Amino acid sequence: MLVLSTALLAINLGPRAAPTTELSRRGALTQAAAALVAVPLAAKADVRGVNEFAPKGERDINNFLKTQGLPPLTVGKDLSALVGYIGTANPANIDGSKTKGRAFGGTLLVRFVYPSGWLPQTPSITENGEAGNLGANNYIKGDSANFAAIPLPKGGSIADVSKDLIKELLIAQMSNDVYEDVKVKKLKQVTQADGTETAVVDFTYTLLTRAGFTVNRKGVAGCMVAADCVVGIVTATTEERYKNLEPLLRASADSFRAYPVKATAFPGSIV
């Protein structure tokens, strides 16, 4: 278990990607519709809580990871890095009485890389609790990378993670009414360079938009076991864009790590 360090720097959200100007009318409508429902609403720039002080940039993030005794994060070409906490407070209530529970208990420190130009998102603390997710998205084109977690029986390892369990993980970060035909195409166990046991997953699904379009999507997820859960970063894009984005999505999947954190107080959090 890790002890939370207060030596965190201020966070600035990355630039919003500019829309392309050479789209067919049908392509523009399809991408716009997919963007509206494939990813959550744009993250607010005003982040409250511990993530308000999160470092940005490869050097500052790796300096922070070093203070925690954690391996560095390699940020390649056309990639940016994100580090943040999730689970620093109770989940925010939905309607004043109900809350959406988490698969994991306690707090996780999460880090991964994502394609440069995507808008990063970290959980924020409000008077109702912790709201939002960890991720990065291109809201114009409907590309996404989002954190997800599902329970795993206590004592389970990455070797116990099946395609059916991975399918549950993928669905956990999708809207309940906008997808169908989720298929896990490939599940490969990988021992990463830092010794972390992970699973890298290739998957596809069909997005059903509220505008009546169907959009074929493909993605890569990077998963590991932490806090008696399967946790991962789930990246996805349209079938047409996948070929160009695949190397960056695989880099994101390989870079994902989640570490349980032991802490009693967090700078900027509401206690």
Q: What is the pLDDT of residue 119?
A: 97
Q: What is the pLDDT of residue 26?
A: 45
Q: Which helix (H) or strand (E) holds 235?
A: strand 229-238
Nearest to 97 by CA among 128, 75, 140: 128
Among all chains, which residue has been given the structure tokens 């977690």?
149
- Report how far residue 136's alpha carbon sits from residue 153's, in angstroms, rounded to the nearest whole number: 29
Across all residues in the chain, what is the average pLDDT? Answer: 81
- Report how far residue 143's alpha carbon sits from residue 121's, in angstroms, rounded to the nearest whole number: 14
Q: What is the pLDDT of residue 28?
A: 43
| Neighbouring C-alpha atoms within 13 Å toward the C-beta of 6 | 6
Q: What is the pLDDT of residue 126?
A: 84
Query: Mind listing the pLDDT tens digit for each residue in 69-123?
Result: 999 999 999 999 999 999 988 888 766 555 567 899 899 999 999 999 999 999 9
Q: What is the pLDDT of residue 156?
A: 87
> Which is more confident, 1 or 18?
1
In degrees and rounded to multiples of 5, residue 36 shows phi and psi of: -70, -30
Amino acid at site 159:
A
Q: What is the pLDDT of residue 223?
A: 97
Q: What is the pLDDT of residue 178?
A: 81
Query: Mind listing the pLDDT tens digit for each residue in 157-198?
Result: 999 999 999 999 999 888 766 888 999 999 999 999 999 999
Q: What is the pLDDT of residue 15?
A: 38
Q: What is the pLDDT of residue 23?
A: 37
Q: What is the pTM of this model?
A: 0.79
Tell whether the model's pLDDT for residue 148 goes beyond 70.
yes
Q: What is the pLDDT of residue 105?
A: 87
Tell whether the model's pLDDT for residue 3 goes beyond 50.
no
Q: What is the pLDDT of residue 89?
A: 87
Band (pLDDT 50/70/90 cuts) for residue 7 is very low
Query: Mind listing the pLDDT tens digit for each residue in 22-48?
Result: 334 444 434 444 443 343 433 344 567
Q: What is the pLDDT of residue 91?
A: 87
